């Protein structure tokens, strides 16, 4: 089983995305999967120029750029699974990930045809007869409310349905600022273990068990959200002052020792 894993955080190796992705990949490797991982931010991926050369002049290949996407498209074609981890940026995916998605357009044919399973929708057929590639996305966000992931979730479900990739799991983790905090590693150990178990199950069974799915769906954080926000605001205040700026918080900001 071949896995292409992409970390879309600009923070690369130090990112919370990598802490989460790494746990999943541990399980996949342990169960024998052949895993290739890249950090998108370290690759050379130019923005699509919108020329449609990859459809009409050099079908299946970008007509403009010879960059990291040449290799990535080949790796994606060979992969059974695409596993991506990235932070929520402006309620959606970071620019590095959007660049990657835009540059997948050579994988579609230009023809406009009825969607095979969604009556009333048109789509572009896939250029390469796929083997039913599956997708897993792990996304963490700074804020604690799951609602912030709504636009990303809708986007990914739509992309999956239009590209024929089956979305096996969308793992959403709010309160990302706590996930790597040294004080909370014991607290999160079962969550990281559930990710590793998920990797084993993906490799061995091709999907997640209901138990693992339920463990990963938990949005628990080790402290009340109000305390998290108060500590974050205190940190912002201190850092602003250290840099010689005004550290006065807005009157509605939760701060340690103050209500609301
Ligand atoms: C440009 C930018 C946009 C962000 N947008 C959001 C957002 O819309 N919602 C949110 O909860 N956090 C947002 N965040 C916070 C990140 O999602 C959060 O810091 C995350 O834990 C970073 O994960 P990483 O270490 O994997 O990069 C944003 C951060 C940046 C730098």
Full-model pTM? 0.96
Please give the distance, rounded to the nearest whole angstrom, from the Cα atom of residue 129 to the centre of ligand 1: 36
Are 23 and 101 spatial neighbours (Cβ–Cβ below 8 Å)? no
CA distance to 34, 128, 212, 213, per residue, from 207 (Å): 16, 24, 10, 10
For ligand 1, residues with CB inside 6 Å are 9, 11, 15-17, 87-91, 140-143, 148, 176-177
CA 100, CA 84: separation in Å to the nearest integer?
11
Which element (helix H / strand E) includes 2?
strand 2-7
Q: Are the beta carbons of 53 and 64 closer than 8 angstroms?
A: yes
Which atom of ligand 1 is closest in space to residue 9's alpha carbon?
Answer: 27
Mutate to test the pocket of ligand 1, among 6, 14, 87 (most ligand atoms within 8 A of CB): 87
Q: State which H helix or E strand residue 4 sits in.
A: strand 2-7
Closest protein CA for atom 21 of ligand 1? 176
SS3 at position 58 = coil
Main-chain phi, psi angles of 241, to 5 degrees: -65, -45
Token pair recorded at residue 144: 């604690």
Tens of pLDDT along the chain (260 residues) come to 999 999 999 999 999 999 999 999 999 999 999 999 999 999 999 999 999 999 999 999 999 999 999 999 999 999 999 999 999 999 999 999 999 999 999 999 999 999 989 999 999 999 976 666 899 999 999 999 999 999 999 999 999 888 888 899 999 999 999 999 999 999 999 999 999 999 999 999 999 999 999 999 988 899 999 999 999 999 999 999 999 999 999 999 999 986 54
């Amino acid at each position: 089983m071949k896995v292409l894993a992409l970390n879309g955080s600009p923070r690369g190796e130090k990112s919370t995305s990598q802490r989460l992705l790494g746990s999943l990949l541990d399980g996949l490797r342990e169960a024998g999967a052949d895993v290739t991982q890249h950090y998108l931010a370290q690759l050379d991926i130019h923005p699509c120029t919108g020329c449609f050369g990859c459809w009409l002049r050099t079908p299946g290949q970008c007509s403009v750029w010879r960059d990291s996407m040449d290799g990535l498209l080949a790796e994606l074609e060979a992969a059974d699974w695409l596993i991506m981890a990235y932070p929520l940026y402006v309620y959606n995916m970071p620019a590095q990930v959007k660049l990657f998605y835009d540059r997948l357009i050579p994988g579609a044919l230009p023809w406009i045809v009825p969607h095979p399973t969604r009556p009333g929708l048109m789509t572009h057929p896939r250029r390469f007869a796929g083997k039913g590639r599956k997708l897993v996305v792990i996304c963490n966000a700074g804020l604690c409310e799951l609602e912030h992931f709504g636009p990303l979730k809708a986007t990914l479900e739509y992309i999956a349905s239009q590209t024929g990739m089956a979305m096996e799991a969308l793992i959403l983790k709010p309160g990302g600022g706590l996930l790597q905090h040294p004080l909370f590693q014991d607290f999160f150990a079962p969550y990281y273990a559930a990710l590793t178990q998920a990797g084993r199950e993906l490799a061995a069974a091709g999907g997640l068990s209901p138990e693992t799915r339920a463990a990963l769906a938990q949005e628990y954080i080790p402290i009340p959200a109000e305390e998290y926000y108060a500590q974050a605001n205190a940190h912002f205040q201190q850092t602003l002052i250290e840099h010689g700026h005004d550290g006065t918080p807005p009157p509605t900001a939760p701060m340690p020792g103050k209500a609301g």
